[in-house]
Amino acid sequence: MNIVVTGGSGFLGKHLCRALLNNGHRVLNLDFHNNPEVTTYQLDVLSQSAISPYFKGAEAVFHLASYIEAGESVENPKKYLENNIMGTLSVLEAMREHNVKKFLFSSSAAVYGEPLRTPIKEDDRTIPINPYGMTKLAMEGLVSSYVQSHGFTGVALRYFNLYGPGEDHKPETHAIPRFIQQMMKNDEVTVWGDGTNKRDYIYIDDVVQAHLLALQLPQGFHYMNLSGRNATGVIDIIHMLEEILHKQAQIKFFPPRPGDPMELFADSSKAKEVLGWEAQVGIQDGLVRSVKWFEEQLTETT
């Protein structure tokens, strides 16, 4: 299958492009940054005229090109609204121009906001509490409208705290890679709130597998949670890393961040029913694999 990936140079994008190639697909990547493992054109998805030619002959699109930092979205909402919503519109219109009908994208647990109950089910209320979550919900609505108006297949995969080998943002804002790097360098481990926040951490390989399975979904709009099965406290993640790294974390607590729910944990039974998918990698195993990758990177640079 001929597949376009937007944002294929990011953490998930690199893993997904690699998996698609390994499964025999032909992949073209559109991203600000280069991914040397796949044919990449360094373009801004906001420019429909620039990206449109690359959709000719495509059979499916994975749209991963979004800004993803909830905290930053509170400080700079305009950046998120312009890139995430208008960037999605640009991609959908380029697809419509070239009669490409299958659109799969990374949504987020942030669409739910502060949940009334856990585990969260797909049809629970969606009231985002930060602009990032609002843009993801708006993106879902936009895709759904193209499904109804233009006969698209739209897939929104709502996953939670993605982690694993290869996660190395600059600057690093995600909890697990930040904790690992801080502990490896004997720096203070920064925690917002008292560490009791619980999150649904999900390993990168499990999320990639769900994306591959979703390629087979029929025409219509599909939305589903991808859950790592268990909510884990931030402080518990740090304690597990202490055991793996054989180090004592020097934790520094900061006030809670605005727009940051106390607990996000999903029910992913719909993904099991529709895709035959379940998370396979538990948090302990996933942390061990992540630490190993960072240790290998350190060895390579010394």
Residues annotated catalytic, as ranges: 132
| List of residues 6+ apart from 270 with CB closer than 8 A | 121, 122, 224, 225
Interior angle at CA 277, CA 272 and CA 280, nearest 5: 120
Cβ(230)–Cβ(292) under 8 Å? Answer: no
* Token pair listed for 72: 């930053």
For the CA atoms of 36, 40, 42, 48, what is the dihedral angle to 10 degrees?
Answer: -160
Residue with tokens 């991203």: 31
Helix (H) or strand (E) holding 102, with range, is strand 102-106
Q: 224-233 b/e with 16+ CB inside 10 Å = b?
A: bbbbbbebbe
Helix (H, G, I), strand (E, B) or coil at 31: strand
Calpha distance 158→207 (Å, rounded): 10
